[in-house]
Amino acid sequence: MMLKPYRLGALLLTLLALPVMPSVPALALAAAGAPAAPAAVAGKGHTAAQIGDFLIGFYGEHGPSAQDRETRVSQILKERQQVNEGVDVLLCAHDEPRDITIGPVTVAKTASVGWATVTTHWGSGDTDTFTAYVRLDSSPIRLDDVICAG
C-alpha cells in the first residue's frame, strides 16, 4: 500500500468541502424559467388531500366514467386496458362493484408518487383491494398506475 503525503489528503478534503455550483447551461435554463430537475421539485406537487379527493371523485361509487377513463388516466394504463380486454384494469375486476371506498393516502415525495388502497365491495358481500398510484407532478392530476392485490 502506498501512503499519500498529508498535503494531498488535505487538498482532497478541501476540494470535497467546496460547494458544488450548477453548470452554466443549468443556470441559463433556470433563468429562462425552465422547469427544474425532478429532484429539485420533489417537495412540490399534489398533496395527500388532493390525491384523496381525486381518487374519490375518479372512482365514485361504481367506477370511473368513460370520460375519466379517457382524460384522467396515464397512457400506460390505457395501453394495459387494450391488452387486457376481459378485465377492467382500473378496478382489477370483471364486473361493476356495488360500492368503492378509498383508504388513507400515502405520499412519498422523494419518489414523486402518492397512493391509496381502493376497496371494491360486491353484491355477494365480498371485497377486493388494489392500490392506485398518482404521480405528484402530473398536470392535470391523473391515475398513473394500478396494482391488483391478487
Task: Please classify residue 15 by burial: count the beta carbons closer than 10 Å to its beta carbon, then call 0-12 exposed, 13-18 middle and 19+ buried.
Answer: exposed
Phi, psi of 39 (to 5 degrees): -65, -30
Average pLDDT, the chain: 80
| 47, 113 contact by CB (below 8 A) | no
pLDDT score recorded for residue 149: 87
pLDDT digits (tens, 9 = 90+) for 4-16: 343 434 333 333 3
- Residue 55's contacts (CB-CB under 8 Å, 6 or more residues apart) are 102, 105, 116, 118, 132, 134, 143
Specify the pLDDT at position 150.
66
